[in-house]
Structure formats: C-alpha cells, structure tokens
Amino acid sequence: MMESEMEKGRPYQEKPRTFSTVRSKSSIPLVFRVLMKINPRALIVLLLLVVCGVFYLGASTSPIIVFVFCICTLSLFFSLYLTKWVLAKDEGPPEMSEISDAIRDGAEGFFRTQYGAISKMACILALVILFIYLFRTTTPQQEASGLGRTTSAYITVIAFLLGAVCSGLAGYVGMWVSVRANVRVSSAARRSAREALQIAVRAGGFSAIVVVGMAVFGVALLYATFYVWLGVDSPDLMKVTDLPLLLVGYGFGASFVALFAQLGGGIYTKAADVGADLVGKVEQGIPEDDPRNPAVIADLVGDNVGDCAARGADLFESIAAEIISAMILGATMAQRCKIEDPSGFILFPLVVHSFDLVVSSVGILSIRGTRDSGLISPIEDPMAIMQKGYSITILLAVLTFGGSTRWLLYTEQAPTAWFNFALCGLVGIITAYAFVWISKYYTDYKHEPVRLLALSSSTGHGTNIIAGVSLGMESTALPVLVISVAIISAFWLGRTCGLVDELGNPTGGLFGTAVATMGMLSTAAYVLTMDMFGPIADNAGGIVEMSQQPESVREITDILDAVGNTTKATTKGFAIGSAALASFLLFSAYMDEVAAFAQLPFKEVDIAIPEVFVGGLLGSMLIFLFSGWACSAVGRTAQEVVTEVRRQFIERPGIMDYKEKPDYGRCVAIVASASLREMIKPGALAILSPMAVGIIFRILGHATGQPLLGAKVVASMLMFATVTGILMALFLNTSGGAWDNAKKYIETGALGGKGSEAHKAAITGDTVGDPFKDTAGPSIHVLIKMLATITLVMAPIFL
C-alpha cells in the first residue's frame, strides 16, 4: 500500500508507524500510578478520610478556611465536569488521532525528563535551606512563641517542597488537558468554528480552575496545618499575625519550579519553532505545520510543554506569591493597629481567589456553541466572544470583591475602612482590564500598530526588525503609566482609610496596594483560560495541516490561532502587571523581616550610598544577562534544528514529494536534550546572584562597621531588578506577539499573502520575536517574583 501511494506521488498514509520514533512510555506521575492500583472502594474510603481530615483542620482554624475549602472542593467538581465534557468530543479521523498521539507522547516524555531534573535540583536546594535555617538566628517573636531553629527550619523546607510539588502539578495539569483537547478542537473545526472555540475555551478553563484552585487550597491547607500544629493563639505561643511569614517557603518553591519550567519549556518550543520556520517556510517554501517538515512534531510538542505546562506553573506561583505577600502585610497592619480579630485581614486574599474560581467558572460557561457551521463571520469574532465572557467575569468580580471587603475588612476602629479597600480592589480590577486592552491594541492585527509592522515587511527584513523593536519599546509606556497610577492610588486610598497605629500614624497604605493586587488577580482563572486557549488552537491548526484537511478547516483554525496569539500576549501583559504589584508587596515584606531579625529600623534604602547603588546596578544587569542567556540558548538550539532539517531535506529528497518519511523523532530528541542542558545556566544565575551579592556585602559591611549593608544592597538589587524586569518583559512580550501577528495578517492575503517577499520578511521578524515572547519574556515574570521570595527566605544570611 505504502509503495503504491509513493509511486503515485500522493501523501503517504502509513498509519501505525508514521510517528513511532517519537513515542515514549507514559508520563503519568508516580502518585497517580499508585492510586490507580488501589481498589476503587478502598480509594473512596481513603479520599473521604483525607477530606474529613482537611475539613477538621479548617474547622479548628477558622470558619473562613472552611468556606475556602468548600469553594475549592466545588471548583474541583466543576473542573471534572469540564474534563468529561471535553473528552466526550470525538477525535476525528484516524490520521488526526495518530498525530495527536505523537504530540502527546513527545510532550509527556519531555515533561517527565524535565521535571525529574527540576525535582533533583529542588531537593538539593531544600537541603541548603535546611542547613541555613538550622544555623541562623531567630527573631525575639519566634523565641517568645517557642518556635526554635529546628522547627523553623523544617517548616520552611516543608513549605518549599509543597510549593514545588504543587507548581509541578499545575504544569502537568496544563499539559495533560492541552494534549488531549487539541485533536478534539481540530475535529470540531470540520463542523463549526464556534464549537471549536468552545472546546478550546473549556479545555483551557479546566486547566485554569485546577491551577488557581490548587494555589488557594495549598496556601489554605498549609496555613491551617501550621495553625493547629503550632497551637497558634494559645497562651505563650505564636500569635496568628506571625503565622503568614512561615508560608514564604511555599512561594519560593513555586517560583523555583516555575522558573525552570518556563526556561526549559520556552527553549524547547521556540528552538523547534524557529528551526521549522527558517528551513520549512523560508528555504523550502512549504506551509506552516506541513507534514514534510522534520521539525513539525517538535514544534507542536513545544506548544504544550512551553505554553501550557510552563504557563500553568507561572500563574500558579503568581497567585501563591501574591496571596502570601498580602497575608503578611495584612497581619503586619492588624498587629500595628491592635485589631482584635486579625483573621479577616490575613485570610482575605484566600477568599478573594475563592470567589475568582466562582466568577471565572460563570465566565467560562458563558461561551456557548451554536449549530451554525463554517467560518466565523465578523460578528462572531472569537476575540469578541471571549471579551464578552471576560466582561461578565469582571462585573461579577466587582460585586464579590465589594462583598468580601465588607465581610472581612470591617472593623469598629475604622467603620468606613472596608469601603476604601473595596475601592483599592476596583483600582486593581480596572488595572487588569487596562492591561488586557493595551496588550490587545499592540498585538492584535485589527489595530494599527501590527498593521504598520506588517507594512514595514514590504520593504524588507531590516525594516521589519526596526519596526518591531520600536513597537516593543513604545508599548512599555502605557502599562508603566497604568501601574504607576494604580500603586499610588491604592496606596493613598489605603492610607486614608482611617486605620492608625498606637502613635496615630496611618498604616493602611501598603495593605491598600496589596488589595489592589488582589483585585487585579481576582479574574486570574478566566485570564489563564484565555491564555491556555492559544496553544490548544495552535496545536489544532498543526493537526489540521498535517492531516491534510480541506482549506476551509484550516481557515477556521488559522483565525483561532491568530486570536490565541493575542490572548497569550494579553495574559503576559496581565502577568507582568501583577508581578510588578506582587514584587512591590514582597519587597515591603522583606524590609519588615530584616527589621525583625536585626532589631533595627529598616524603612528605606538610600541609593546615594555607593555600595547600595552598585547593588541596584547589579540588579539591572541581572535582567539583561538573564534575558541574553535565555535568547542565546534558543538560538544555539535552533541552529542544531536548522542543521538537522537541512540534512534531512538533502539526504532524503523524496520528502518534498511525499515519497520519503521525515525523521520527526530526531528533531524531538535534539530540542529535548538541548533545552534541558541550556536551562541550567540562566536558572542558576537567577538563584545564586542575590545570595552571592548579599553574602559578599554582608562581609564587607561587618568589616566597615555597617551591620545592615548586605540587606540594603540586596534590597537595592531587588528594587532595580524589578523595575528593569517589568520594562524588559513588556518590551519582549509585546514585540514578539506583534511580529507573530504581523505574519498572520499577511497570511490572510494582505500585502501579497503567503510566499510573498513581505511574508518572508515577516517570518524573519517572527523568528526573532519567538524567544522574546515565549522564552525570555515570560521567564522574567517568574524571575522578578523569585528574586523577591528568595530574598525573603534567605534574609537571615544577609545580616
């Protein structure tokens, strides 16, 4: 059969063995494999016991924690409903299923190897943290509560490892659903554009609900466990206001895994993408995701490990870091103001994100399918449909946020304070909407910036690059102005809420900023849904192209893919905005922690001191060096892919006529091994730099009679790295997204369409933008939050 098809020059259809070179053993995590071997009845009993234990912990802590556990449990059932609904859809003809299986095998194989390497590094770092905490000093508050060095060390290590495990699970969930939904979206595109959209959104929604739910549940469970274990609020024991600082290790563990997941996945996906595009599109003139391209399976696998798994871990650690930092600041303010029951101020972030699960679920369900088939008309623009769902989610978020502030932040000392904090939340929600709109404006080809970028391609490759770089630089202005207004507005709303300390000084400013950050992330589950939609649609388009479906089907997936590029860009803008606000909060928490350990006031950082200024300079340099190493890692790996793809086209000339089969597995193996190797250097730089700087300047400080010098220099480094990182990430994310959609705009038929000189120039821009928007840019989001959490965890060694 195979020979006769080759002789006729038709596309080969070797069903069972076409992608056998990519296959690997299943990547189901060990814990799930063990659970699957347990008798179903015994498993149900075990689960009931676990649930009862969890709710007992909650009831022993606070009714608010019980409420949070209830919402998380309901959201779990909702995510199971979404899974069942998506998996009930058909996988299409056998050729589609075959390609999907190959993508799934490649993604799961890489995931297992990557997370195996990350887990080993996490265990080594956990031992380092344990060693540091066993020999560090303790604060007077910890000594008074009987929390010794050993207990503190084990608590921090347990929190770190739990954060790392949950972050890894968040990544696995993101990838698990995407590799199963892609083929179902492809199949639905043969019938209806709206149905394909609905499946992609609900698949993304499953991942988003699980990721946010896990972040909320993890922090709540850790808080309740420590509350009961340490006998918090009992006489002569730890006060509840000191408890949130013990959770910092959880945020650090989540950030650690997310950084390496984002780096490794980003290098994988973009090296494969660049290699496939440069040789396939530019040199050979074949379409994107053409089955003749040897790097096409590696490219499609990369969408899942880079965009889905890594983004799941990224958003998980964003929410975890923001919850913990807001809990710390709420506890600090409640302590200063002598509020009788501070639990409302401490647990407020958990309640906000519990309502996020509810309102985002409504937003996801608001996107329904229709029976109409064919192309989405201009009225049925996928972006407009998702924006409608986002608007519903935001409206509900405003109502639930207001109710939460009245419920938890009302205090007799300042009866109107809750209203000020509700306004702070509204500032955050408006900021989130502004970020989504700004990102859409600069990356959607319906708007002028991307169309002008596409027009610049008609005069050559160089003008395309110049236009893309300038667009990226320009796009940093509006977001920075929005963040600036948000921080100052929220700070002053909080400061004027009426809450004062013993000396009559207003104390609500920083907590007001924390509430604004919560407001910004109060729709995080829906925003993550829009983000996950992108790679699922991209994969669906690849499966349609490889299985050689009619052009009308590919047109539908192309529209969804272009919208997916915009939603990914908006999510990155959202992520960097929330990272900026969360880092500001963590920076404040770091200064409070240093003051507690040193027993000295530490309220400001003077950059006029030479050593402190140098720390800031090193922080800015760190961002540029990290970005450079991340991009060069993609470049080096892409060169290996380009060389391999060229070799296959030369040695197997029958590939172009469908007479020979490409070796897909070879390209998968190249990018998998290279990405694991290349992620180590930038990742190690991010972790070791603040520790090295803090220790060196601590020694210098003691030698020159400046006891807090190490802590001050690290604070300066953190501050400058955050500011530089925000700008760099905005530039990289927006320029990369704009280059990609400029290419998509030309592929719709504008400026000569596919194969034109303008199209080739746009492909060059797209390949330059690939490591910008999917490797270096998203990694910086994680980097600036990880710098903040690592300085919190390691603060004692800087003193």
> Which is higher by pLDDT, 458 or 310?
458
Q: Tell me: pLDDT of 501 over 70.
A: yes
> Which is higher by pLDDT, 743 or 43?
743
- Provide the 3-class DSSP secondary structure of residue 411: strand
pLDDT tens-digit map of 69-108? 999 999 988 998 998 899 888 888 888 888 888 888 888 8
- Provide the 3-class DSSP secondary structure of residue 506: strand
By the 8 A CB rule, do 450 and 762 touch?
no
Which residue, 376, 755, 696, 304, is CA-closest to 563? Answer: 376
Q: Tell me: pLDDT of 236 over 70.
A: no
Which residue, 563, 482, 460, 574, is CA-closest to 528? Answer: 574
Query: Looking at residue 377, what DSSP letter applies?
Result: P
Average pLDDT rounded to a whole number, residues 561-569: 79
CA–CA gap between residue 293 and residue 658 (Å, rounded): 11
> Which is higher by pLDDT, 239 or 617?
617
Confidence of residue 474 (pLDDT cuts 50, 70, 90): very high
pLDDT tens-digit map of 98-128? 888 888 888 888 888 888 888 989 999 999 8
pLDDT tens-digit map of 700-734? 998 888 888 888 999 999 999 999 999 999 999 99
The whole-number pLDDT of residue 504 equals 80
Average pLDDT rounded to a whole number, residues 591-603: 79
**One-letter amino acid identity for 42?**
A
The whole-number pLDDT of residue 8 equals 35
Which residue, 607, 625, 483, 585, is CA-closest to 792? Answer: 585
Least confident of 93-107, 225-239, 365-379: 365-379
> Which is higher by pLDDT, 9 or 427?
427
pLDDT tens-digit map of 248-293? 889 889 888 888 888 888 888 888 888 888 888 778 888 777 888 8
Confidence of residue 20 (pLDDT cuts 50, 70, 90): very low
Confidence of residue 463 (pLDDT cuts 50, 70, 90): very high
Confidence of residue 9 (pLDDT cuts 50, 70, 90): very low
Confidence of residue 21 (pLDDT cuts 50, 70, 90): very low
Confidence of residue 465 (pLDDT cuts 50, 70, 90): very high
Q: Tell me: pLDDT of 612 over 50.
A: yes
pLDDT tens-digit map of 740-761? 889 989 988 888 888 888 988 9
> In three state form, how does the secondary structure of 307-376 look?
HHHHHHHHHHHHHHHHHHHHHHHHHHHHHHCCCCCCHHHHHHHHHHHHHHHHHHHHHHHCCCCCCCCECC
E strands, 230-326, in order = none
The whole-number pLDDT of residue 432 equals 85
Q: Tell me: pLDDT of 244 over 80.
A: yes
Average pLDDT rounded to a whole number, residues 561-588: 79
By the 8 A CB rule, do 567 and 534 touch?
yes
Phi-psi region of 755 (alpha: psi -120 to 50; beta: other; left: phi over 0): left
By the 8 A CB rule, do 622 and 782 touch?
no
φ/ψ of 192, rounded to 5, equals -155, 135
Structure tokens at 20: 């056998």
CA–CA gap between residue 570 and residue 534 (Å, rounded): 11
Q: Tell me: pLDDT of 552 over 90.
A: no
Cβ atoms < 10 Å from Cβ of 606: 9
pLDDT tens-digit map of 373-432? 444 444 467 888 888 898 999 999 999 999 999 998 888 888 888 899 999 999 999 988
Q: Tell me: pLDDT of 762 over 80.
A: yes
Cα–Cα separations (whole angstroms), residue 444 to 152, 455, 735: 49, 14, 12
CA–CA gap between residue 763 and residue 581 (Å, rounded): 35
The whole-number pLDDT of residue 141 equals 61
Q: Tell me: pLDDT of 785 over 70.
A: yes
By the 8 A CB rule, do 532 and 203 touch?
yes
The whole-number pLDDT of residue 717 equals 93
Average pLDDT rounded to a whole number, residues 352-371: 86
**One-letter amino acid identity for 574?**
F
By the 8 A CB rule, do 567 and 531 touch?
yes
pLDDT tens-digit map of 628-680? 999 999 999 989 989 988 888 888 888 888 788 888 888 888 888 888 888 88
Average pLDDT rounded to a whole number, residues 624-628: 94
Average pLDDT rounded to a whole number, residues 221-227: 89
Query: Looking at residue 414, what DSSP letter applies?
Result: B
Confidence of residue 352 (pLDDT cuts 50, 70, 90): very high
By the 8 A CB rule, do 730 and 479 touch?
yes
Q: Tell me: pLDDT of 435 over 70.
A: yes
By the 8 A CB rule, do 359 and 379 touch?
no
CA–CA gap between residue 690 and residue 619 (Å, rounded): 9
CA–CA gap between residue 638 and residue 669 (Å, rounded): 13
The whole-number pLDDT of residue 139 equals 64
The whole-number pLDDT of residue 289 equals 74
The whole-number pLDDT of residue 30 equals 57
The whole-number pLDDT of residue 372 equals 47
pLDDT tens-digit map of 297-349? 888 888 888 778 887 888 888 888 888 888 888 888 888 888 878 888 899 99
By the 8 A CB rule, do 274 and 770 touch?
yes
> What is the helix (H) or strand (E) element at residue 710, kind and residue range?
helix 709-747
The whole-number pLDDT of residue 71 equals 93
The whole-number pLDDT of residue 587 equals 80
pLDDT tens-digit map of 141-169? 666 666 777 888 888 899 999 999 988 88
Structure tokens at 449: 């910036």
- Provide the 3-class DSSP secondary structure of residue 276: helix
φ/ψ of 701, rounded to 5, equals -65, -45
Average pLDDT, the chain: 84
> Which span out of 228-242, 271-285, 768-782 was modeled with the highest average pLDDT?
768-782
Least confident of 201-210, 497-506, 751-760: 497-506
The whole-number pLDDT of residue 220 equals 92
The whole-number pLDDT of residue 15 equals 37
- Residues 6 or more apart in contact with residue 731 via CB below 8 angstroms: 472, 473, 475, 476
> Which is higher by pLDDT, 372 or 537?
537
Least confident of 9-18, 117-126, 582-591: 9-18
- The model's pTM is 0.85
**One-letter amino acid identity for 587?**
F
**One-letter amino acid identity for 182?**
N
Burial class (CB in 10 A: 0-12, 13-18, 19+), 3: exposed
